Amino acid sequence: MNTHELSKADMLDILFENRNKSYGAYTLRRQYNGRLWTALFAGLGLAGALLWLATGASAGENKRVAMRNDHDSVVLRTVVIPAKPKPVVIPVQKPAKPALPPKPSVARVKYTNVIHIVDDKKVKTDIIPSQKQLDSVAIAGVTAPGFKPGTLPSTPGLPAGTGLGTGNQGETGPANFVAVERDPQFPGGAEALRRFLSMNLNSPTSLDEGEKKVVQIRFQVDPNGMVSTFQIVTSGGDEFDKEVVRVCRKMPRWIPALQNGVNVPVSYMLPVTFIGGEQ
C-alpha cells in the first residue's frame, strides 16, 4: 500500500494489510456496526412486545375481575313491610223476633152476689152463673167470650202451650263471630323481621338504578310457631321467588296466633321488595 492509498485507507484496512481478509475476522469487524444496530433495534422491539403483552394481560385480568365483581355485587335495600292490618270485625245481626199475635182474652163471666132494691123499671136482670160455669171461666165484672184459663190457643208457626213457661229457651240463631285475639308475630316484632330479611336476602341478579322486583309470599304459622306451606302470590321472577322462599324457610319460630285462649294456625302474607341502587 503506497502513501496515497494509505491516506485513504481506514484503520481496519491498515490492520489487515498483507493478511487473509477472507478468513472471517475482517468481515466480522467490517460489519460490526450494522450488526450492533440490528441487535439494538431487535432487543428494543422484543422488550416492547413483552411490555405490551404484560400490559394487555394485566388489563384483561383487571377487566375480568371488574366484570366478576360487578356480577357478584349485591345491592340490598330496606325491605318494605306494610303496617299490620287491623283485625276485621264482622258485625252479626241478630235475627228479628217474630211478631207475637195479640194476647187473647180469657173467657170470663159476670158474677153478682150483691142485691140492690130498686124500682122494677130500673132493674137489670143478671143471671147468676152456676158453679160449673165458674170453673171454666175467670170471674170479672163483665161477660165476654175467650179461651179457657190455663191454656193458650195455638198460633200458626208456633207450638201450643199453657203460657206457664220460664221464657229461657235457647236461641238457635248463628253464634257471634269472634275475631282472632292475637295475630302471629315474628320474635321481636316487625322491626326484627325487617332486620332478618335485610341480613339474609341476596339479590340473585343485578338491578338497574330505581328498578324494583316485588315478591308477595303467603305462608302458614302453625300453632307451635313453625312456618310452612309457602305459596308465591305475586311473582318477581323465578330467581327472586326462590330467594324469598329460601330465606323464609330459615325463619325462627313465630309467636302463634291466639283465639279464645287457644293457639290456632293462621296464614300470613309477606311482601318483599328488591330495589336497584347505584352501581
Digit-by-digit pLDDT tens for the chain (279 residues) are 555 555 556 777 777 776 777 777 777 777 778 888 999 999 999 999 999 999 887 777 666 655 655 555 555 666 667 666 666 555 656 667 777 766 665 555 454 444 444 444 554 555 556 666 656 666 555 566 665 656 555 555 545 555 555 555 444 444 444 455 889 999 999 999 999 999 999 888 888 888 889 999 999 999 999 999 999 999 999 999 999 999 999 999 999 999 998 999 999 999 999 888 765
Residue 159 lies in a domain: no
Question: Is 266 found in the same domain as 199?
Answer: yes
For the entire predicted model, the pTM comes to 0.37
Residue 55 lies in a domain: no
**Cell numbers standing for residue 208:** 338497574
Residue 230 lies in a domain: yes
Amino acid at 93: Q
Q: Which residues pair with 106 in a beta bridge?
A: 147
Alpha-carbon span 268 to 185, nearest angstrom: 10
CATH code of residue 245? 3.30.1150.10
95 and 173 Cβ atoms separated by less than 8 Å: yes
Domain hosting 119: range is 108-140
Amino acid at 2: N
* Number of CB atoms found within 10 A of residue 162's CB: 8
Residue 160 lies in a domain: no
**Whole-angstrom distance between the N-terminal and C-terminal Cα of the chain?**
84
Number of domains in the chain: 2
Q: Phi then psi for 33, rounded to 5 degrees? A: -60, -40
CB proximity list for 192: less than 8 A, separation 6 or greater? 186
Residue 123 lies in a domain: yes
Residue 206 lies in a domain: yes
Give the DSSP H or E segment for 233: strand 227-234
Question: Is 131 found in the same domain as 199?
Answer: no
Give the DSSP H or E segment for 213: strand 212-221
Identify the pLDDT of residue 187.
Answer: 94
Alpha-carbon span 49 to 51, nearest angstrom: 5
One DSSP character per residue, 107-144 reads PEEE---------GGG----PPPPHHHHHTSEEESS-B
Residue 32 lies in a domain: no
Identify the pLDDT of residue 156.
Answer: 52
Residue 225 lies in a domain: yes
